[in-house]
Amino acid sequence: MIFSRHHSLAAFVCAVALASVSLAASRSAPTRPLSPDNATAYKGAIVLDAATGKVLFEDRADAVSPPASMTKLMTFAVLMDRIKAGTMTLETPVTVTAADSKIGGTQVWLKEKEVFPVEELLYAMMIQSANDAAYALARTAAGSVDAFVELMNAKAHELGMAHTTFRTPHGLPPASRKISEGDLTTARDFAILSRYLLLKTDVLKYTSVRTRNFGPPVRVEPVVMNNHNHLLGKLAGVDGLKTGFTNGAGFCLATTALRNGNRVIAVLMGGPDSKVRDLKIAEFVERGFAAIPIGSPAFTSEVAPSPVTAAPLPVSAKKADPSASESSAVIKFSIPKK
């Protein structure tokens, strides 16, 4: 009996010890979030080779949904047309009206009678995603916001964006909150627009900027603008383009990345949150580069090269490979495994 009690006690102690070790191991083991399933990760997505326009991946790419603030990419396109036509310049002064100052959502808090050059407001629109800046630029460029929206839809037709209708220059939902009454588009159409901008404009000059002050010298206290595209500086080669979010649209992103002369465009519409959106876009960018055949033509912009330079190599990498150059460095972004 005494032996049996001692034996049982020893067995119990061993079991507790093993359970403790198992619990400690489970706590210390690193965990990775699962890559979300495509069916719930977005409403539509597509990846293009920017040089050729070839589709590298698509899934429900023609599903129609709101683009939210990605709308500002078309606003930018029309503004560049007006500048090329000579009806305005980057230095054209924009005097803020009462209507401009009352636009809601993300903004740089424009005040009536403030005056800013077009280019300052372009930075605000593309970095901060400022709705008030987009509204003021549209009004100034076409005489009225309604007239500017007509130019946006004409441009969409010109580019072959067959399933797109714009109703605002900023992407805010209508007062009715009815999705059918707001801006509508598809992932495919926004990939077409993104490719046009990369080929024909200097959009990367604005969308590649991660942080910038808005206001000086007009304002004593500037607004510190932080780009909403969290993949800038985290995913190798990313230098644009634009995020978007409203409750009706979900989390959207049209992005682009350049590596070894090749450029991909990835568009995702209707993600459930920003983390899922960014993880999926990172996955699609990697898939896109892997799908470009060796020897494919390099991407060449008709306007300007990317302003983003490669990240410097860490000291450890330079010591391991003295011949490595800083121009070949990339920034790594970890994609969770399933």
Residue 129 designated active-site: yes
Look at 67-76, 197-206, 214-223 and tell me which has the smallest mean pLDDT: 214-223
pLDDT at residue 25 tops 80: no
Task: Name the average pLDDT for the chain.
Answer: 86
d(CA 93, CA 79): 14
pLDDT at residue 206 tops 70: yes
Among 43, 72, 205, 242, which one carries the catalytic annotation?
A: 72
54-108 pLDDT, tens per residue? Answer: 999 999 999 999 999 999 999 999 999 999 999 999 999 999 999 999 999 999 9
d(CA 305, CA 137): 25
What top-level class would CATH report for the domain 33-328? alpha beta
pLDDT at residue 242 tops 80: yes
d(CA 310, CA 308): 7
Give the global pTM: 0.82
Look at 73-87, 179-193, 323-337 and tell me which has the smallest mean pLDDT: 323-337
Among 65, 69, 194, 208, which one carries the catalytic annotation?
A: 69
Q: Which residue's structure tokens are 């150059």?
A: 325
pLDDT at position 34:
53
pLDDT at residue 6 tops 80: no
Residue 178 designated active-site: no
d(CA 18, CA 20): 5
Q: What are phi and psi of 181, to 5 degrees?
A: -100, 5
For the chain, give me the number of helices (H) and strands (E)? 11, 9
pLDDT at position 304:
78
Residue 307: other Cβ atoms inside 10 A: 13
DSSP per-residue codes, 142-179: HSSHHHHHHHHHHHHHHHT-TT-B---SS-PPPTT--G
pLDDT at residue 244 tops 70: yes
Among 43, 65, 129, 306, which one carries the catalytic annotation?
A: 129
260, two tokens: 């070894």
**What average pLDDT does the segment 274-298 reach?**
96
pLDDT at residue 321 tops 60: no
**What average pLDDT does the segment 176-182 reach?**
94
**What average pLDDT does the segment 262-266 reach?**
98
**What average pLDDT does the segment 209-235 reach?**
95
Cα–Cα–Cα angle for 329, 331, 332, rounded to 5 degrees: 125
d(CA 255, CA 245): 14
Task: Parse the chain into domains and list their residue ranges.
Answer: 33-328
pLDDT at position 287:
96
Q: Look at 155 and 318; give whichever has higher pLDDT.
A: 155
